[in-house]
Amino acid sequence: MRRAIQFRLNGEAVEAQAAPHENLVEMLRESFGLHGARESCGQGLCGCCTVLVDGRAVSGCLTLATLVQGKDVNTIEDGKALDAVQEAFVECAALQCGFCTPGFVLMARQLLDENPDPSEDDIRHYLSGNLCRCAAYPEIIEAVRLAARKRKAP
Ligand code: FES
Ligand code: FES
């Protein structure tokens, strides 16, 4: 049986119907047409389904949709303009197919919020839960370093 849940999605109050077994990625897709969070492994191993819930990254594939009742949910679709991280990913060509990119961008934002000047080791460690099948890792690391500089620029 589906149940109504209310929460904030990318800054707006919304309501959706969710079945008890439905995960957050499925609800974002089916109820709101948001395709940025992608389900790949479905086991919490790849980071492609990353979504922010109350400001913290979670695996959307392992988060039941009904658990976001009353919470703040943010996806890669949360801004109208590119932020520093997205600009850096474009400038560094830090993607090939792009399937993993939303998850990397959300995690990179969270990293830079916590540590504005990360070393390469910090970046590798923080992003170790995100997998890129195209192996664009060198460009992704370069992009995060560029994003850190962009964020510091006046
Ligand atoms: S699809 Fe959720 S972690 Fe891989
Ligand atoms: S760019 Fe293709 S999976 Fe990462």
Average pLDDT, rounded, for the chain: 96
Ligand nearest to the CA of 48: 1
Rounded CA separation 2/16 (Å): 9
DSSP per-residue codes, 29-82: HHHH---SS--SSSSSSS-TTEEEETTEEEETTTSBGGGGTT-EEE-TT--SS-
Confidence of residue 1 (pLDDT cuts 50, 70, 90): confident
pLDDT at 123 > cutoff 90: yes
Q: Per-residue pLDDT tens for 37-52?
A: 999 999 999 999 999 9
Residue list, ligand 1 pocket, CB within 6 Å: 39-42, 44-49, 59, 61
Q: Per-residue pLDDT tens for 56-108?
A: 999 999 999 999 999 999 999 998 799 999 999 999 999 999 999 999 999 99
- In the sheet that holds 12-18, the strands lie side by side as 12-18, 3-9, 72-74, 50-53, 56-59
Indicate the pTM of the whole model. Answer: 0.95
Q: Which residue among 41, 51, 99, 127 has the greatest number of ligand 1 atoms within 8 angstroms of its CB, and so is best to mutate?
A: 41
Residue list, ligand 2 pocket, CB within 6 Å: 95-100, 132-134, 136
Q: What pLDDT does residue 79 have?
A: 81
Average pLDDT over residues 118-129: 98
pLDDT at 154 > cutoff 80: no
For residues 1 and 135, the model is more confident at 135
Q: Residue 154 Cα, ligand 1 centroid: separation in angstroms?
A: 36
Q: Per-residue pLDDT tens for 5-29?
A: 999 999 999 999 999 999 999 999 9
